[in-house]
Amino acid sequence: MKVLAIGDLIGSAGIKKLKSEMPKIREQEKIDFVIVNGENSAEGMGITEKNLKDMLDAKVDVITMGNHTWAKKDIFKVIDCPQLIRPANYAKGVVGKGYNIYICHNKKIAVINLIGRVDMNVLSENPFLLAKEIVEKLQNDVDMIFIDFHAEATAEKIAMGYFLDGKVTAIFGTHTHVQTADEKILPKGTGYITDIGMTGPKYSVIGMDIAVSIKRFETTLPERYKMANRRMHAKCCYLSC
């Protein structure tokens, strides 16, 4: 079985690229199951009902989220969609689910979404403790476990990889929008990569307009981010297991 994980989908450019490339990738790579991080699909922040529909129409099996989960009120209309999961280590009682189990070719696939705590500015529970709890609960009932760890700090992601090595099928990082080159099989057999990058405008600053981004750094004055030119070529970043 081949599982495809696609990095942070950025706005309409990312969705357009996903819809145009998915059929080819599925056919060429013989993909069976697709996971997409969709927390930036609403022009950089959050997700809307239409974004969700577009991804499901593109035959995405699971949509994970991150620090922009609640950026659009639309999410409350679709939060109970079985294909949509949000970070499991948000506070207890928060709407939505942090993981789910899916059936593909008679195999049970668990997908878990976690958010980091280092430099994320999001109040969340300890992802290591919760990951251990969820994995122990699931490991005897499923055939595969995949984790989207949405985190800023490289060290936190790497530590999570070794923490769960041999207990899950694969851990892939999202959030930084820049693909790393450290994909590997860890000593006990878990597939790992620190970040799978973004699917969005190629000529941009992590998906945002270049001039606006530079101005923020040059002047240190607040400047509202905006998406990079949609007409720019988009790139698609993914990991196939």
Mean pLDDT, residues 100-105 taken together: 98
Query: Which residues are tagged catalytic?
Result: 68
The whole-angstrom separation of Cα 176 and Cα 89 is 19
Which pTM was predicted? 0.93
Which residues sit opposite 5 in a β-bridge?
35, 239
116 exposure class (CB count in 10 Å sphere: 0-12, 13-18, 19+): buried
Residue 208 is predicted with a pLDDT of 87
The whole-angstrom separation of Cα 148 and Cα 84 is 13
Residue 72 is predicted with a pLDDT of 97
Percent of the chain's residues with pLDDT above 90: 85
Residue 225 is predicted with a pLDDT of 73
Q: Which domains does the chain have, with CATH numbers?
A: 3-240 (3.60.21.10)
Q: What is the pLDDT of residues 110-158, one digit of tens each?
A: 999 999 999 998 999 999 999 999 999 999 999 999 999 999 999 999 9
C-beta of residue 241 within 8 angstroms of C-beta of residue 2: yes
Residue 224 is predicted with a pLDDT of 78
Which residues sit opposite 111 in a β-bridge?
100, 146
What's at 82, amino acid-wise?
A: P
Per mean pLDDT, which range of 6-15, 57-66, 92-101 is the poorest?
6-15
**Could you tell me the end-to-end alpha-carbon distance of the chain, in angstroms, rounded to an integer?**
8
**Which are the contacts of 96, defined by CB distance < 8 A and separation ≥ 6?**
69, 79, 80, 84, 85, 86, 90
E strand segments, the chain: 3-6, 8-9, 33-37, 62-64, 99-104, 107-115, 144-150, 170-174, 184-185, 191-193, 198-201, 234-235, 238-240
At residue 59, the 3 state secondary structure works out as coil
- Tell me the two tokens of residue 19: 């819809």
Residue 240 is predicted with a pLDDT of 63
The whole-angstrom separation of Cα 41 and Cα 72 is 10
